């Protein structure tokens, strides 16, 4: 603001100085004529000042627009490089990005809401949500399920928490405010359980794979005569292995794969 005022005053001052110089050397000029010339000098100074100010503001606006364009191009290039260097697919990257944004907003709500009970629930929701988002890295096949979580459940939860934050900041009690806050508080308990079920559901495929591996292992143990149970018990397996090793050592039996010449 000071720079703009000086750039506007400068031309006016300059024209007034020219008028002073003109009036000092001019002869036989009436006072009225001097006043007219003074007014013209001031008007000319103001006009030139406005013109210079307009040009200055235009240059500043163009410089700001150019700087904004360079910054946006740099950010876009950095984002493109980050996506290119990322070991994850675009779908997983999108899940990670949206998860970070949601976690940031929930963190803000945690700081804004002062009620300990609600803060505790927010903290639990954030913990479960973070695990759900991270599952996209461990198992990209879960992305469609996680996408539904990010598109509806998480945004709706954040919307409810924002409403609670706004109402709690009013610092007054009323039927609508108190009733709505109580309903949101109750809803958070249901939401936490739903989040837990969502996280558990993401491991359905892994649970099936684990069960299949156990069944295959049990079949191998049975064929080797190491089974005897319908489920895999690694403790029993290791005990039987140790007994075989001890028996072989006592009877000086060379073990398969041993490098000893006996």
**What torsion do the CA atoms of 12, 15, 20, 21 make, to the nearest 10 degrees?**
150
Half-sphere exposure of 160 (CA within 13 A, CB side): 22
Examine residue 98 and state whether it is found in any structural domain, yes or no: yes
Q: Which residues lie below 8 Å from residue 153, measured CB to CB, with a gap of 6+?
A: 191, 194, 195, 198
Same-domain pairing of 66 and 134: no
Same-domain pairing of 113 and 178: yes
Same-domain pairing of 213 and 166: no
pTM (two decimals): 0.52
Write out the two tokens for 107: 């963190």
Examine residue 134 and state whether it is found in any structural domain, yes or no: yes
Among residues 83, 106, 126, the one where a domain terminates is 83
* Residue numbers of the domain that contains 25: 2-83
Same-domain pairing of 219 and 126: no
Cα separations in angstroms, 86 against 89, 90, 115: 8, 9, 40
Residue 58: the pLDDT is 78
Among residues 39, 61, 83, the one where a domain terminates is 83
User: Can you list the residues of the chain whose pLDDT is less than 70?
Assistant: 1-49, 76-86, 205-209, 226-241, 249, 251-262
Among residues 30, 60, 83, the one where a domain terminates is 83
Look at the block and give the residue holding tokens 């996280």. 199
When divided into structural domains, the chain yields a total of: 3
Examine residue 260 and state whether it is found in any structural domain, yes or no: no
Q: Which residues lie below 8 Å from residue 199, measured CB to CB, with a gap of 6+?
A: 128, 131, 132, 135
Residue 99: the pLDDT is 92
pLDDT in tens, 75-115: 766 666 555 556 788 889 999 999 999 999 999 999 999 99
Residue 12: the pLDDT is 55
Q: Quick check: helix, strand or coil at residue 92?
A: helix
Residue 2: the pLDDT is 46
Q: Quick check: helix, strand or coil at residue 138?
A: helix
Same-domain pairing of 66 and 9: yes
């Amino acid at each position: 603001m000071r720079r703009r005022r000086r750039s506007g005053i400068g031309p006016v001052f300059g024209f007034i100085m020219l008028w002073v110089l003109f009036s000092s050397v001019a002869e036989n000029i009436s006072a009225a004529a001097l006043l007219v010339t003074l007014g013209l000098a001031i008007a000319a100074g103001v006009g030139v000042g406005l013109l210079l100010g307009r040009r200055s503001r235009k240059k500043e606006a163009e410089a700001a627009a150019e700087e904004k364009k360079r910054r946006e191009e740099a950010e876009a290039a950095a984002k493109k490089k980050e996506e290119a260097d990322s070991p994850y697919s675009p779908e997983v990257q999108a899940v990670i990005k949206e998860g970070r944004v949601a976690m940031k907003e929930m963190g803000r709500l945690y700081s804004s809401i002062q009620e300990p009970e609600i803060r505790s629930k927010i903290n639990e929701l954030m913990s479960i949500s973070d695990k759900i988002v991270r599952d996209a890295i461990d198992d990209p096949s879960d992305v469609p399920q996680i996408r539904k979580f990010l598109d509806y459940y998480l945004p709706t939860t954040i919307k409810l928490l924002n409403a609670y934050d706004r109402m709690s900041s009013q610092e007054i009690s009323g039927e609508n405010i108190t009733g709505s806050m109580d309903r949101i508080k109750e809803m958070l308990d249901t939401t936490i359980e739903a989040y837990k079920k969502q996280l558990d559901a993401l491991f359905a495929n892994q649970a099936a794979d684990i069960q299949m591996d156990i069944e295959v292992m049990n079949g191998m143990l049975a064929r080797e005569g190491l089974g005897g149970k319908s489920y895999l018990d690694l403790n029993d397996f290791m005990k039987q292995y140790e007994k075989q090793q001890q028996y072989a050592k006592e009877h000086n039996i060379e073990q398969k794969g041993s490098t000893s010449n006996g």
